[in-house]
Amino acid sequence: MKSLKNYIDHTLLKAIATKKDIISLCEEAKTYDFFSVCVNSCYATLAKEQLKNSSVKVCCVIGFPLGAMSTQAKVQEAQIAIQDGADEIDMVMNIGFLKSGDFESVLKDIQAVKSIMPNNTLKVILETCYLDEDEIIKASELAIKGDADFIKTSTGFGTRGASFEDIKLMKSVAKNTTKIKASGGIKDAKTALYYINLGVERLGTSSGIAIIKGETSNSNY
C-alpha cells in the first residue's frame, strides 16, 4: 500500500477561505507531502505559485457545490482552472438531471468537461447523500461512461459525507477500471485506512494532518 499521505487531497473549500488560508494550506501540504491541495478555482494561480518546486498537485473544484450550472459554464470554469495551474478537476454531477432521469444530459455534461482536459485527471462528484442505491449505481455508470478518471462521493456541503456503503456500491460498478475518491467526514487514520482497504484511491479531507499524526479532527469535512 502507498503511504497514507499519498492518498490525501488536502482540502479547503469554505466560502470564507482567504488568500492567507490558502497559502497556509499549501505550506501544510508541502510539509506533509500530501498528494494535492483541493481549492476553489479562483485560487488555482495562488496555489500553483505556492507549490512550485514541490511534488504537490493542484486540484480545483468546478460546478461546486451544486452541480446545477450550465454545461458551458462548467467547461469554461474547468478550462480557466487548468490554464491557471490546476492539475486535476473535481466536477459536481448535475444531480437534478440525474434524479429527473435525464441521463443523456448528465452524460453529456461530464463528456463536455472531459473533452477539454484529456491529459488531466477528472473526478466526478456524485453527492451520494442525495441518492438512493440505484441512483448511486446509475451515477457511477454515467461518470465512468463519460471517461471520468475517478468517481467521488461528496462535496462535503451536502447532508453528509462519504459512507462505507457508498463506496461498496461505487466499487461494484467501477471494479478496477475507474478509481474512487471518498470525501467528507474522514477525520482519523482508522477511518481513512478502512476506506483504502475498500478500494479507495484518494481521500478528500481537511483533516489530513490529524490523520497522519494518528489524531482525530473535529473538522466537518
The residues assigned a catalytic role are 90, 152, 181
Pair 212, 4: CB distance under 8 Å = yes
Smallest CA-to-CA distance from 68 within 90, 95, 91 is with: 95
Please tell me the distance from the alpha carbon of residue 92 to that of residue 16, in angstroms, as a whole number. 20
Smallest CA-to-CA distance from 203 within 47, 35, 56 is with: 35
Q: What is the dihedral of CA 175, 147, 170, 206, to 10 degrees?
A: 120
Please tell me the distance from the alpha carbon of residue 203 to that of residue 79, in angstroms, as a whole number. 24
Please tell me the distance from the alpha carbon of residue 214 to that of residue 189, in angstroms, as a whole number. 6
